Amino acid sequence: MTEISDIDTVKKEITSFSLDSVDALEAFRLKYLSRKGIISDMLAGIGKADPTERARLGKELNSLKKLATSRFQEAKAELSSQSTYKKSATDDPTLPPVPPQIGSTHPLSQTLEEIKSIFYRLGFTIADGPELEDDFHNFTALNFPPEHPARDMQDTFFIRKDEQNPSRNLVLRTHTSPVQIRLLKEQKPPVRAIMPGRVYRNESITAKSYCLFHQVEGLYVDNNVSLADLKHTLITFAGHLFGKGLKYRIRPSFFPFTEPSLEMDIWWETGNRPGQWMEILGAGMVHPNVLKAVDIDPERYTGFAFGMGVERITMSRYEIDDIRLLYDNDLRFLNQFP
């Protein structure tokens, strides 16, 4: 049971308590102001006091709590002030200032910006589109047949999958090619644009593969666009990005949305490693079925398309052997790319 004499005793303790350190301040808080402290216990004991004394006790205890809180806040401010202005060896005004930490551009961003600047100079604009796509834009309009393995759950992140009505499927885009479809539906030829962006694949995360990566796709549709135009564009681009002494080769390939299709390899040598051919992009002439899907007459217009992975180019240029390093956000790694 709480009595006035108890309050007076605690008041004297609070007044005389030495608050000359952070540890003493914390001890004071725990003893008097915490939920299990003395003042909380005394407030809980009011209910057992004589009913005629409860109002007086409550008033005295509130005054006691204000006193304890005031002493605590004043001592805390005083200690904070002392620590702020405490002299140290670094207070010498003649010493040079500590240089601020300056961030750096991510190696992926550096590579992507260089790729975009090259295509700017080649007359391409930039187009963008959503990362959540429907089945038509991601597969059907790009000439993927219904049984194509790329539609499988093994390769695609499905947000909504309807076996009875595939047109209702929603996916995280597996490539930036759907932007080509959206662009051709909105803008009639001539069209010359690149489509950089993130894409997603349902793959295991290893040193060589990741569940997301960046692509740059390109599209040129107009009258009389030829395979020679495509080869000239790719060779010019590779020369700007990797240097004029670059060795390259172009070989046949297959993609559902281009015909004929090809891939471009470059001869890559780094450090003491033996040189090897490395594929950097896929390309081809836009398939007539793709043009028909967006109501463009393939008898009148032709075009070419290409696509490349930014991570692969970045890893090659900077000799990075683990793709996961690009996504770990480890400052020890990122600070190497000023």
pLDDT tens column, 17-31: 888 888 888 888 888
Residue 200 CA, chain-centre distance (Å), reads 13
Residue 249 CA, chain-centre distance (Å), reads 34
Percentage above 90 pLDDT, the chain: 45
Helices (H), 175-226: 177-186
- The Cα 276–Cα 95 span in angstroms is 53
Q: 304-335 in b/e burial notation, b at 16+ Cβ within 10 A?
A: bbbbbbbbbbbbbbbebeebebbeeeeeeebe
Tell me the two tokens of residue 128.
């963008």
CA-based nearest residue to 234, from 254, 248, 223? 248
- CATH number, domain 107-334: 3.30.930.10
Tell me the two tokens of residue 58.
């409550």
pLDDT of 89: 55
**pLDDT tens by residue, 284-304:** 999 999 999 999 999 999 999
Examine the pLDDT at 147 and tell me if it is beyond 60. Answer: yes
Pairing of strands 191-200, 170-172: unpaired
The model's confidence at residue 151, banded by pLDDT at 50, 70 and 90, is low
In single-letter form, the type of residue at position 186 comes to: E
CA-based nearest residue to 190, from 219, 218, 216, 217? 219
Cβ pair 199, 213 in contact under 8 A: yes
**Residue 318 parent element (H or E):** helix 310-318
Three-state secondary-structure class, residue 130: coil
Helix then strand then coil, % of the chain, to nearest 5:
45, 20, 35
Q: How far apart are the first and last CA of the chain?
A: 69
Report the mean per-residue pLDDT for the chain: 87
| Mean pLDDT within 309-313 | 93
| Mean pLDDT within 314-327 | 90
**Residue 250 parent element (H or E):** strand 248-255
**pLDDT tens by residue, 190-246:** 999 999 999 999 888 898 889 999 999 999 999 999 999 999 999 999 999 988 788
Cα–Cα–Cα angle for 239, 316, 173, nearest 5°? Answer: 95
Cα–Cα–Cα angle for 38, 40, 45, nearest 5°? Answer: 95
Cβ pair 238, 246 in contact under 8 A: yes
- pTM, full prediction: 0.67
CA distances to 60, 64, 69, 76 from 17, rounded to whole Å, are 19, 14, 13, 14
Tell me the two tokens of residue 264.
């471009």
DSSP symbol at 44: H
Pairing of strands 191-200, 125-126: parallel
Cβ pair 179, 127 in contact under 8 A: yes
Percentage above 70 pLDDT, the chain: 94
